[in-house]
Structure 1
């Protein structure tokens, strides 16, 4: 049941589905971390699909090595066991172990670029910490229509119910909405990028509730609320510990919550991280800035969240279809350069 190029591996005590493609020497690996209840196959498509309709094709065209990670979900033929207590911490440790393994095996730069789609936005801080513990890191974490570490921003997920396996059931929760997003992307592409039935059958499944942006945990056969534990898991208040951040979102009413709120929720973390890591850590230098330097610092810090945010055509699955996939990679290249420029200018002012 595996697609060509896929590998089942184990890391941090749990199984994972992995697909790696090498790239041009010197470029960092781009890691796609998938969201809730969807395999990373959505980034590269089925073997008989049109490669140009999927993200990994365009990463390859630009020379980037790519690594796509799927944590264990209820997907027959891929994973043969359920892990309802799998947590964000487990997710981060597993992902970091696999990333470090591929970086070392292929002589890649130590700092990866990470694309965190949907619920995978919640992995930003713990993944960075887990990678740093292994001597690696994140050059840039790009949230793709993603949940942030802020609590209570996706209240609809409070309706998740446990399946018999103890995993969170996506049918009756948000699978129909994902299929609506997919149908919309197919329509925009002008052809069938990915069949809805095949997407459901080969790329989705029930998933561990602890990964959801709902602050729930699986205990004794039920889902219970644990907002304090969730905030610790995702590093809600650990601004300094986040990696460099950027955002890709959209303006589709099909995914209204991300369309309306992503820039504000991720703007908090983009701005606070820059302040905590580059400015507030040097109070003496901050106090000695000239009025001209201070004005430039204000301009760059205030503008960072806007400059590091991109609005792409499409919906929650904006990276599907040739135009969407290609535009996503073009935007990634621009955001990568912008992130380096913003950081470099603030560092120059604070030197």
Structure 2
């Protein structure tokens, strides 16, 4: 049942243990949600979500866009007044892919009117997996999906794979896009986030300023305004649950506290064999220096470990019997894998915004998908 079909006060009451609601006493009831064409509000795993699905050509897999911190999935398909060709989903559809853009509940008044300050990575994964399975089953799609995890969305890789497998689905390829990894304390600046009155992490200040700087730079690269700051701020951004951020913080007793152990468990930081196949898209912009400088190293470790855990370590007893030449080829092949599965694209943290960036991103995805399949086959061959 869609959340738009529910009485909003009843929904808030049912989730009162984990939710804060607005508006406050004395204010008017929230207006009917303002949705873009093709969008729908739904409920999955006990929480509301904003979704946009577009079918593709027969035989093509579903590509799922998992958005980042405090930004709706609208960043992947743009506003009604925008040019579709300036956004990612347009070019995915041009290539034949079905697309599903997912947005967890954030403080965007035109969409959600219930806040979930304790919404966790595991909640996020379960919600996303339920919605993905619903669309796969309802549209006769293959159960092996491609996932693009933008920014904070990179942290969902392992728990989403686990949640999908419980629904007899899986991830063919997970591609972090300037994405945070499961490693702790990679983005220490996020520890400066403070709770809003609803208990969500407030994006006002440095965090939102940085997002707007990225957007302005993408507009500059495009040579025109692809997405204006006002539309982005008012229709696509909002305060978000701190438990999703790459800061190991949790909302407890009205404040944010550090819990690195819980965070590591939820994101599966050491469960290398449980990660889906991985590939990376990043950039080289100083506006987002941390991702530009560290993505290839941090994700390279997970790419290599996942490859070994899946294709090599289960055959460990056979490795000593390999001919020296074949072993040397395997060693070099694995060392090169993370490089081959990583692409650096022009632009910044929003490199996929703007026609050229969106088109390049889809072409990079096609190449990474082909490379990932080739590397998996070659690894299995060399290890036997």
User: For this structure pair, what is the TM-score category when the shorter chain's length is used for normalisation?
Assistant: over 0.9
User: Per the alignment, in what secondary structure is the counterpart of residue 223 of structure 1?
Assistant: strand
Give the secondary structure class of the aligned counterpart of 1:69: strand
Q: Which of 16, 20, 45 is the matching residue for 2:49?
A: 16
Quote how far apart the aligned CAs of 1:299 are: 1.4
State which structure, 1 or 2, has the greater radius of gyration over its C-alpha atoms.
2
* Residue of structure 1 equivalent to 2:383: 350
Tell me how far 1:283 sits from its aligned partner: 1.5
8 Å Cα contact 1:29-1:108 kept in structure 2: yes
Match of 1:231 in 2: 264
Unmatched segments (≥5 aa) in structure 1: none
Residue matched to 1:43: 76
Q: Could you say which residue in structure 2 is the equivalent of 1:80? A: 113
User: Per the alignment, in what secondary structure is the counterpart of residue 250 of structure 2?
Assistant: strand
Using the alignment, how far apart are the partners of 1:279 and 1:139 within structure 2? 18
* 1:295 shift after superposition: 1.1
- Deviation string 1:216-248 (CA, Å, 9 cap, x unpaired) is 000110101000000000000000000000000
Match of 1:337 among 370, 378, 381: 370
1:163 aligned to 187, 191, 196, which one?
A: 196
Q: Distance in 1 between matches of 2:79 and 2:231?
A: 9
SS at match of 1:104: helix
* Cα distance between partner residues in 2 of 1:284 and 1:222: 51
Preserved CA contact (<8 Å) 1:110 1:136: yes
Where do residues 234-273 of structure 1 align in structure 2 (5 Å cutoff)? 234-273=267-306
Name the CA distance, whole Å, in 2 between partners of 1:286 and 1:61.
Answer: 44
Question: Corresponding residue for 2:7?
Answer: none
Distance in structure 2 (CA, Å) of the matches to 1:116 and 1:299: 28
How far, CA to CA, are the matches of 1:348 and 1:110 in structure 2? 26
1:68 pairs with 2:101: yes
**What TM-score does the superposition give when structure 2 sets the normalisation length?**
0.91
1:30 to 54, 58, 63: 63
Tell me which of 104, 117, 127 is aligned to 2:137.
104
Shift of 1:173: 3.7
Which of 65, 77, 86 is matched with 1:53 structurally?
86
Shift of 1:278: 1.0
- 1:133-152 alignment to 2 at 5 Å? 133-152=166-185
The alpha carbon displacement at 1:192 in A equals 0.7
Q: Mean alpha-carbon deviation: is it higher for 59-68 or for 289-298?
A: 289-298
Q: Which residue of 196, 200, 218 corresponds with 2:233?
A: 200
TM-score, normalised via structure 1 length: 0.99
SS class of match (2:173): strand
Tell me the distance in 2 between the aligned counterparts of 1:284 and 1:233. 32
- Aligned partner of 2:31 in structure 1 is none
CA distance in 2, matches of 1:292, 1:25: 43
In structure 2, the gaps of 5 or more residues are 1-33
SS at match of 2:224: coil
SS of 1:153's equivalent in the other structure is coil
**Deviation per residue, 1:75-113 (Å, 9 max, x gap):** 012001000000000000000000000000011111100
